[in-house]
Amino acid sequence: MQKIHAAITAVGGYVPEYRLTNAELETMMDTTDDWITSRTGIKERRILKGEGRGSSDIAVEAVKVLLAKRGIDATEIEMVICATTTPDMQFPATANVICDKVGMTNAWGYDLNAACSGFIFALTVGAQFIETGRHKKVIVVGVDKMSSIMNYEDRTTSIIFGDGGGAVLLEPNTDGYGLIDSILKTDGAGRAHLHQKAGGSVKPASIETVMAREHFVYQEGQTVFKFAVKNMADVAAEIMERNGLTAENVAWLVPHQANLRIISATADRMKLPTEKVMVNIERFGNTTNGTLPLCLWEWESKLRKGDNIVLAAFGGGFTWGSTYIRWAYDGQ
C-alpha cells in the first residue's frame, strides 16, 4: 500500500485592516523609520482593533477563506489544531472557540504553544492524524494577536510584532505529495531570554504584576537574534541535506518573519536566491504563529504541484524547526 502523506489542499489567511506604520511608531516612542527598516526590514504591521476581539476572530476569517476555496462545508472538518501564543483566554482552547464561531460542529481540537515555531509544530502533529488514517480533514491554524501582549514603551521589542494569521487544510495523498519530513527542536534553557513573566501558574496576575508590566513580551533581542540566526539556518540546511534537496531543486523557502536579517542568513546558508524566498515582513511584521501560513496564503497562486518547499522557524522556548513539503496542487 502507498504511504499516506498529509497534503495541504487549501490555504486561507487574514490580517486586520489597521496599519501601524513606522511613522506612527515615531509618534509613540523614541524611534525612527530608518532604524526600524534597516534593523528589521519592517515598514508596517497590522493591529486588530476593537473591544472583545481576539486571536479567534483573525483565525475565523482565515478558516472561512480556506473552506470557501476548497468548496467544503464546515461540518466536514474533523479536527482543528490552533498554534497560538495569544489565545483568546487561558482556557478554553482557542481551537474550541474557532470551531464554535465557524460551525465546525463535528471537529475536536486543541491549542499548541511553541511560540514562533508553533505552526511548524502543529503542522507536524496534524499530519500524524492524516498519515495514520485517523482523520481525512484536519485544519491547522497559526494565529496571534501580538498587540495584546506588547509593551509599546519597550521600543526594541514592540516594533517587530503585529497581528495576523492563516490556516491550512490537510488531506490524505497517496501520490507522494504533502508533508515529507520535519525536524523539530526545543531547548528550555532559552526561556530566560524570551518569555512573558506573569499570568501563568508561577506568577499569577496581581496588581503588582500589572503595575510592573509583566504581562507583556520580555525579549533580550540580541541574544535571541544570535540563536535564531544560527539555529534557523542550521535546521533548514539539515532538512535539505537529509532529503537530497539543493538550491536548484528547492522552489521556495518559507521563513519565519522575525527579522529580515535572520531570513537572509537562512537563505544564504541554503544558497537560495532572493526570488525563491517568501518575504512579507515589510507589510506584516512578526505575527508569531501567523507568519508561515500568511506567506503560504500570499504566495499560493504561484505554487505549482511538485514544488519542493522548505519551511523554517525559530521562536521562544527556545523552539525551532524545519519542514519539507512537496506541494500538492497548482495555485489559482
Report the interface residues with ligand UT7, using CB under 6 A: 31, 35-36, 39-40, 116, 155-156, 159-160, 221-222, 224-225, 228, 258-259, 262, 286, 314-315
Nearer to ligand UT7, 109 or 162 (CB): 162
| Nearest distance, CB of residue 137 and ligand UT7, angstroms | 30
Catalytic residue numbers read 116, 256, 286
| 54: Cβ contacts below 8 Å, ≥ 6 apart | 48, 86, 87, 88, 89, 94, 145, 148
| Nearest distance, CB of residue 162 and ligand UT7, angstroms | 11
| Nearest distance, CB of residue 222 and ligand UT7, angstroms | 4
Nearest Cα to Cα of residue 40 among 263, 270, 292:
263
| Nearest distance, CB of residue 63 and ligand UT7, angstroms | 24
Angle, vertex CA 110, rays to CA 113 and CA 166, nearest 5: 70
* Rg for the chain, CA atoms, rounded: 19
Rounded-to-integer distance, Cα 46 and Cα 99, Å: 24
Nearer to ligand UT7, 201 or 222 (CB): 222
| Nearest distance, CB of residue 31 and ligand UT7, angstroms | 3
State how beta strands 79-83 and 108-112 pair: parallel
Nearer to ligand UT7, 87 or 255 (CB): 255
Helices (H) and strands (E) in the chain, counts: 11, 13
Q: What is the DSSP letter of 191?
A: G
User: How many CA atoms are closer than 13 Å to the CA of 277, on its beta-carbon side?
Assistant: 23
Rounded-to-integer distance, Cα 93 and Cα 102, Å: 15
Nearer to ligand UT7, 315 or 321 (CB): 315
Report phi then psi at 72, rounded to 5: -120, 160
Place of cell 535572520: 262
Nearer to ligand UT7, 129 or 225 (CB): 225
